[in-house]
Amino acid sequence: MKLTGKFLPVSLAVLLTASTAFSQTPAKTSAPAKEDALPSVDQLVEKCAKANGGKEAWAKLSTLVMTGTMDLPTFGMTGKVEIYAKAPNKVLRIVNLADGQFVQKQAFDGKAGWRSDPQSGLKPLTEAELEEARVESVFDTEVRLKEVYPDMKVTGRAKVGDRDTYTVVAHEGKKTVTFYFDAQTGMRIAEDSEGPDETGTVQTIKLTLEDYRPVSGVQIPHKIRGVSPVVTFEMHIQDAQFNVPVDDAKFAMPAAGS
């Protein structure tokens, strides 16, 4: 499962474009001193899959429901997050901020995607947004990385906090992503992305995934932090449950006006 996609609850485009310029520099990364030969993509994805529970563990899981909190200090806002995912490729993410004053939803039902928010109303996802949704909706991405990202390329080393990592570049539609694999554990602990939003404006964001905990035999990060030039957020997952009933209707685009 592409945990960053699942945990990033909605496209932040509305919040990003609604804000004024906010100077925030992502944490710097630097190459560690040790310069051994870089591992191959195959070695990294195999180690990541094993660290995340392995294919057999993921094959036993069919749905995931998560709830948590969202803090956006840039705007002085807090709220709640709900994420519903269903194998092989359905997902719904809901953010409810400021006691319901701002509610945004984004979903992919396996074929089509949609989003709703107070500014834009209800609309289908198209082009780059839809392609990104297809990639991020894959339920067991962590054990299918090469299949989901066939153009993965190992590019070097970097520090994420005090952790040594290997960097891997790939693409989601028109977006370029850099994954940071922990050199010791194999886990993906950070991700940088750069690409256009639905207006064509290029956006950059840096995510860090922390506080991994075992749930039903696989690893789930319970703290996700995001930094961009105009907004920061921090999400805490309070509850995560696999194999609970989730109706397919939850992912379908609502009728206009409903």
CA 70 to chain centre: 14
DSSP code for 21: P
What residues contact 67, with CB distance under 8 A and at least 6 apart?
80, 81, 82, 83, 237, 238, 239
pTM: 0.87
pLDDT confidence of residue 156: 98
pLDDT average per 10 residues of sequence, the chain (258 residues): 48 42 40 73 98 97 97 92 97 94 94 93 90 92 95 98 97 92 97 86 93 97 94 95 97 83
124, exposed or middle or buried, with CB in 10 Å at 0-12, 13-18, 19+? exposed
Q: Which CATH class is domain 3-251?
A: mainly beta
pLDDT confidence of residue 211: 97
CA 172 to chain centre: 12
What residues contact 232, with CB distance under 8 A and at least 6 apart?
24, 72, 73, 74, 225, 226
Q: CA–CA separation, 233 vs 71, rounded Å?
A: 6
Alpha-carbon separation of residue 246 from 32, 69, 172, 241, 250 (angstroms): 45, 21, 27, 11, 7
